[in-house]
Structure 1
Amino acid sequence: MTIAIPDPDPDPDPEEPEGKIASRVIKVTPEIAETFLSRASVNRRLDMGQVRSLADTILRGEWKLTHQGIAFDAAGALLDGQHRLRAIIEANTPVEMLVFDGLPREVFPVLDTGKRRSAADTLLSTGAKYLPLLSSTIRHVILFKTMPNDSWIGNRAQVSNDRILSAYNEDKDRYEEAVKIGRELSKHLFASQTVVAVGFFLTTEVAPAADIDEWIAGLKSGANLDPGDARLTLREVPRDTQKWGSRRRMGIRDQASIYIKAWNAWVDPERNGELRLRRLRKGEKMPMPVEVKFER
């Protein structure tokens, strides 16, 4: 059923706009993208990190047709969309896109100036709690699984909001549990809430037969732990190692590696002798969590 909305101030003789804006949906191929880019006049500086992020979205099949597309002015010059067009070329894959023609050139300064939607904003509709921590946890779990031995900061480490939402929907119970544990355990450890949530998610994911309650209890209290217990060693990592301004500051990737090393030494006592909880050295690979599965 269609409901007509009356004009609150009807004008019997509306003026015709000076220029006519038209829009259409077309499949933009890499070749068409090249042609459109050749019509660029004034554009923002190209951010190759953003281009690669959009290209990855296209290659994963996650591109969606939205109101954000390509815009040309009345003279046919490209006003908006250079990053999306470059991404199509980078991915060498055509996508459907909304194309606007005839925009006044005066609109260029206000294009794409709105607040960018964060991953936490995207998760708002799920009803989950602690959204900034939840989105950060999911993002870094994805980074661990896709680029464990590369930097987790900068343009190459961008993860799309759609990808974060999809990951949450696939395993929401475990992500919510990880956030809860991250909030609790970080009070007793050097690591941030995100790091503990990420470490907890990754380790318990491959260790369904491990005694998780014992692991958590030891980290919380530290009581009655043997001197060589990996949980005690993890508790004793200096708390100032991740703070800004510290000469020994560690990022999330370094902190996560320490959490996983301690976990591995705890579930596999043979690793205790080689346990050294320190930041990753140059060229050192991220440790993978030890699996603990039920015996058949």
Structure 2
Amino acid sequence: MTPEMASSWLSYRDHPSNRPISKSVTARYQEDMAAGRWREATPEGYIFDTNGYWISGRHRAKAQANGNFTLKMRVFPNEPRDIAPFLDQGFRRTAAHLLRVPYATQMGAGARHLAALADGDRWGMPRYSKVTIPEVVETFHRWPELSRYGADAWAIQHRAGIPTGPHLAVLAQAARTAHRDLIPEWIEGVRTGYNLGPGDPRGHLRSRFRNGLQSAGKVNKRDQAYALIVKAWNAFADDTPMTVLKQMASEPLPTVQGFTFKVAAA
């Protein structure tokens, strides 16, 4: 299936009852194809009705045409038009279904944060919701540190309300720094809150999340949660007392001390 074929079929085989093509879905498929995550000859093929009109596959074909990809695709012609309403109605796969590890949902959230952060946008994670499931799975396998702290992060969320996804992303990065030996002490303090002084960053972090994180103006809650965890960790790693823990809309996302994604990619 060449991009020229895909473009040609899209131009005259569309059916008036088909849903509009989504640019965002097409873009996700194109990113997967460009990254080599798209399997050729996938059983989920291109389906056409008895008149040669598309029933299923237009988004994939659009991604092929836009990205100039040639792929081997299964084609199912002469299918009855009345099967169209029953397609795409199954139980949608999530990253957790594919990971099949303890705390898979939390691991997937941590991997999604890491994939979004790797883009290098220090003002937030705008691509977070667009990270594809194959990318989450790939990121999980590149970050074994996620599995190392999954149970602890889940216990902390249960007891202190600190969300597991961003917390795991921070711990995974911290594990690749010179401060990795401080992680057990961090986990114990954040989990229990026991014997923490007034300037202890772990106590400040617990306080911010104890009653649910409140929105800080224009700061996205996901970005805010991640930034607060990073700031608290950095202060703890530096042994710096903390008087206030907050993230302003005018501040870029902080980075985990001693870690850069360029180092991770290398």
In which range does the TM-score fall when normalised by the shorter chain? 0.7 to 0.9
CA distance in 2 between partners of 1:132 and 1:180 (Å) = 12
The one-letter amino acid of 1:36's match is W
Q: Secondary structure at the match of 1:72?
A: strand
Q: Deviations over 1:57-93 (max 9, x none)?
A: 0111111121112122222222211111121233333
Answer yes or no: is the 8 Å Cα contact 2:114–2:139 preserved in 1. Answer: no
The one-letter amino acid of 1:263's match is W
Q: Are residues 1:60 and 2:35 paired?
A: yes
Q: Are residues 1:220 and 2:191 paired?
A: yes
- Describe the shift of the 1:88–1:276 C-alpha distance in structure 2 as closer, same or farther (beyond 3 A): farther
Aligned to 2:15: 41
Aligned to 2:110: 137
CA distance in 2 between partners of 1:141 and 1:67 (Å) = 30
The one-letter amino acid of 1:259's match is I
* Distance apart, 1:262 and its partner CA: 0.8
* Distance apart, 1:169 and its partner CA: 3.0
CA distance in 2 between partners of 1:223 and 1:109 (Å) = 57
* Distance apart, 1:94 and its partner CA: 2.6
The one-letter amino acid of 2:49's match is D
* Distance apart, 1:46 and its partner CA: 2.0
Aligned to 1:162: 134
Answer yes or no: is the 8 Å Cα contact 2:26–2:59 preserved in 1. Answer: yes
TM-score norm. by structure 2 comes to 0.82
Structure with greater Cα Rg = 1
TM-score norm. by structure 1 comes to 0.75
CA distance in 1 between partners of 2:81 and 2:173 (Å) = 50
CA distance in 1 between partners of 2:150 and 2:162 (Å) = 14
Q: Secondary structure at the match of 1:211?
A: helix
CA distance in 1 between partners of 2:123 and 2:10 (Å) = 32
* Distance apart, 1:40 and its partner CA: 0.7
CA distance in 1 between partners of 2:155 and 2:211 (Å) = 19
The one-letter amino acid of 1:261's match is K
Answer yes or no: is the 8 Å Cα contact 2:216–2:249 preserved in 1. Answer: no
CA distance in 2 between partners of 1:77 and 1:143 (Å) = 37
Q: Structure 1: 5+ residue runs without aligned partners?
A: 1-26
The one-letter amino acid of 2:187's match is I
Q: Deviations over 1:186-231 (max 9, x none)?
A: 2443422323222222222334554222222332344444432222
Q: Secondary structure at the match of 1:100?
A: strand
- Describe the shift of the 1:150–1:230 C-alpha distance in structure 2 as closer, same or farther (beyond 3 A): closer
Q: Deviations over 1:137-170 (max 9, x none)?
A: 22222122225446657x8723333222233333
Q: Structure 2: 5+ residue runs without aligned partners?
A: 260-266
Residue of structure 2 aligned with 1:181, choices 147, 152, 160: 152
Q: Secondary structure at the match of 2:102?
A: coil
Aligned to 2:262: none
Residue of structure 1 aligned with 2:253, choices 286, 291, 294: 286
Answer yes or no: is the 8 Å Cα contact 1:185–1:196 preserved in 2. Answer: no
Aligned residues: 255
The one-letter amino acid of 2:137's match is L
- Describe the shift of the 1:149–1:47 C-alpha distance in structure 2 as closer, same or farther (beyond 3 A): farther
CA distance in 2 between partners of 1:83 and 1:150 (Å) = 31
Aligned to 2:80: 104
1:255-294 correspondence runs (5 A) = 255-269=225-239, 276-282=244-250, 284-291=251-258
